[in-house]
Amino acid sequence: MTATTPALTGAALALGDDALVLSHRLGEWAGHAPVLEEEVALANIALDLLGQARVLLSLAGDEDELAFLREERAFRNVQLVEQPNGDFARTIARQLYFSTYQRLLYGRLAAAGESPLSGLAAKAVKEVAYHQDHAEQWTLRLGDGTAESHDRMRAGCEALWRFTGELFRPVEGVDVDWAELEADWLASVTGVLERATLTLPEGPRTGAWRAGAGRQGLHTEPFGRMLAEMQHLHRSHPGATW
Amino acid sequence: MTVPTAPTAPTAPTAPTASPAATAGPAGARETPEAVFDAAVAADERIEPRDWMPEAYRASLVRQIAQHAHSEIIGMQPEANWITRAPSLRRKAILMAKVQDEAGHGLYLYSAAETLGVSRDELLDKLHTGRQKYSSIFNYPTLTWADVGAIGWLVDGAAITNQVPLCRCSYGPYARAMVRICKEESFHQRQGYEALLALSRGTPEQHAMAQDAVDRWWWPSLMMFGPPDDESSHSAQSMAWKIKRHSNDELRRRFVDICVPQAEALGLTLPDPELRWNEERGHYDFGAIDWAEFREVLKGDGPCNEQRITQRRRAHEDGAWVREAAAAHAAKHGEATR
């Protein structure tokens, strides 16, 4: 099953790359999580995302060619998902921002129906609802936990804030009301942060190297290093099957 | 996260009355808890957390289950080492799922240990300070992708050979945990075998990678069954208590017998020139294990001992503020809702 129009291929790549890259970052936590239950949870979320990525990339072409043989400039993921894990709070902040976005987006795509993306969205929305709940619960625990966890959660939310504007730049082939999506996202994130005794970060969410840059293949420096690790083995054995 | 600590010694000689064995003694004689316990074990009944048990039985189980749980947790590391480099998305998904299962197995096993009156925190502390051990196999490094397949086939294969009899272990919570774990482990083992088969049938470079991995993991896998029977300090008592059902050497022999035809089917060789079928015994003969290496690894001088325990400690220490936050949040909101 391959996407039939260039717009759909582009959309599948953009959303597929988001899921692929975030899954990879979460996979880096394996063996390093603060508590055993989080080893399970983070790997679970990573697996869900990898599953979504595989479906989406297969709409656009061969999943392994796309994952392992494209260079940095050809990836279409938003810059948010490629950000390094940092401490647990930063990982949770990234997860809160992104899973809220994914849930709102997939919810709309699933409801719209009749699009090649709606089948995936219908399945994925159940997974991302769980991811969002996980991120929200941890935002509450860390924000409203100890003084140290509060400070770390605030720092994580602030550091990643500037990457959130890009989430709402329209993606061709994804037919949703992006302004409305952004308004809903802001309302949801604001509500969670307030309950967590935190405030919505201030500062710009748009700019030449932020809004839409990742979708155009302009990424941040850590991303190339991430790809080097991810692609090294596959590229070392051209044409091999695994 | 804190678990109420059950008394580690019986508070009163309340002999279990539920056990049919309790009524099977000589008429009129009041049975001691020891006699009830011995009869239950002899009758292949399950010992449950509230039943009286000898302190040495309890201690032996805590030691074994904790070591088993620690092995699952440390065992995540050599495989997680390849998650970010897995060569296809399918293999990456399989590997992630496997490492996740291992964390889950650790959770089951710590829960089983907690029924004996110890807490997970206490056991983790013993792991981190080197007072409890984990399987020696995880002190070997994963140097190539093929190691992931070799671990699935050989290491999980050895684990299953060891663990299937534990499904009939006399201690109920451990036996039940093993039933669940063995199902998932055999799935992993098949996946490992299949990954190795793909390599063996792949390019010459891939085949060589697979062979090299099997060469490095074969002997350490045989060491997983523990020291030879005449040097195994816990074996006799564990077998009398029906914690263990078979001796180390017996399980090791069984494993070799299973592996040889599988290696042939894989198109790979096992690195033992003395390996050959013995018609008379109906088993494969195999070469001598390097017990000096085994002892070195157990003592902490294996290739990765230091690295494994350092990473585990660091994850725990780096995560302290997260666990403190969760506890503080629960305390605040527990009070607020009451």
8 Å CB contact of A240 and B202? yes
Residue whose token pair is 């290696």: B263
CB A108 within 8 A of CB B296: no
**Among B76, B145, B318, beta carbon nearest to A30:** B76
| C-alpha to C-alpha distance for A93 and A15, rounded to whole angstroms | 20
| C-alpha to C-alpha distance for B338 and A183, rounded to whole angstroms | 36
8 Å CB contact of A39 and B203? no
In a domain, A1, yes or no: no
| A228 interfaces chain B, CB cutoff of 8 Å | no
Stretch 83-142 of chain B: residues touching chain A, C-beta under 8 Å: 83-93, 96-97, 99-100, 103-104, 106-107, 110, 120
8 Å CB contact of A144 and B80? no
8 Å CB contact of B104 and A63? no
Long-range residue pairs from B203-212, CB within 8 A, at least 24 positions apart, any chain: B203/A237, B203/A239, B203/A240, B205/A237, B205/A240, B206/A237, B206/A240, B206/B146, B207/B267, B209/B144, B209/B145, B209/B146, B210/B146, B210/B149, B210/B150, B210/B266, B210/B268, B211/B268, B211/B269, B212/B144, B212/B146
- Which residues in chain A touch residue B85, judged by CB atoms under 8 angstroms apart? 229-230, 232-233
In a domain, A242, yes or no: no
pLDDT at B334: 84
In a domain, A163, yes or no: yes
- Residue in A18, A15, A40 with CA at minimum distance from that of residue A30: A40
The alpha carbon torsion through B27, B28, B33, B39 (nearest 10 deg) reads: 0
- Which residues in chain B touch residue A34, judged by CB atoms under 8 angstroms apart? 315-316, 318-320, 322-323
Confidence of residue B284 (pLDDT cuts 50, 70, 90): very high
Distance of CA A149 to the CA centre of its chain: 23
pLDDT at A223: 97
In a domain, A241, yes or no: no
CB B119 within 8 A of CB B2: yes
B29-56 tens-digit pLDDT: 578 999 999 999 999 999 999 999 999 9
Confidence of residue B123 (pLDDT cuts 50, 70, 90): very high
Q: Which residues of chain A have pLDDT under 50?
A: none
Q: Which of A175-184, B29-38, B248-257, B261-270 has the lowest mean pLDDT?
A: B29-38
| A46 interfaces chain B, CB cutoff of 8 Å | yes
Mean pLDDT across B56-60: 97
pLDDT at B9: 42
Number of domains in chain A: 1
In a domain, A25, yes or no: yes
In a domain, A48, yes or no: yes
A85-124 tens-digit pLDDT: 999 999 999 999 999 999 999 999 999 877 789 999 999 9
Which tokens in the block code for residue A70?
């494209």
8 Å CB contact of A33 and B319? yes
| A31 interfaces chain B, CB cutoff of 8 Å | yes
Alpha helix positions (H), chain A:
6-27, 36-60, 63-68, 79-82, 88-112, 116-143, 147-161, 178-195, 221-236
8 Å CB contact of B89 and A149? no
8 Å CB contact of A145 and B328? yes
| C-alpha to C-alpha distance for B55 and B229, rounded to whole angstroms | 24
- Residue in A153, A158, A171, A155 with CA at minimum distance from that of residue A204: A158
ipTM of the complex: 0.96
- Which residues in chain A touch residue B76, judged by CB atoms under 8 angstroms apart? 30-31, 39
| A123 interfaces chain B, CB cutoff of 8 Å | no
Give the minimum alpha-carbon distance from B174 to chain A in angstroms, rounded to a whole number. 19
Residue whose token pair is 């992630």: B96
- The parent domain of residue A101 ranges over 6-236
Report how far apart, in Å, the C-alpha atoms of B12 and of each of B8, B16, B50, B238 are.
12, 11, 12, 26
DSSP letter for B132, please.
Answer: S
CB B86 within 8 A of CB A67: no
For residue B335, is pLDDT > 70? no
List all residues 6 or more positions away from B86 whose beta carbon is below 8 Å from its beta carbon. A233, B92, B95, B145, B148
CATH of the domain at A171: 1.20.1260.10
| C-alpha to C-alpha distance for B64 and B86, rounded to whole angstroms | 33
pLDDT at A210: 60
Rounded to the nearest integer, the mean pLDDT of chain B is 91
8 Å CB contact of A35 and B84? no
| B336 interfaces chain A, CB cutoff of 8 Å | no
**Among A24, A68, A237, beta carbon nearest to B205:** A237
How many CA atoms lie less than 13 Å away from B22 in the CB half-sphere?
Answer: 11
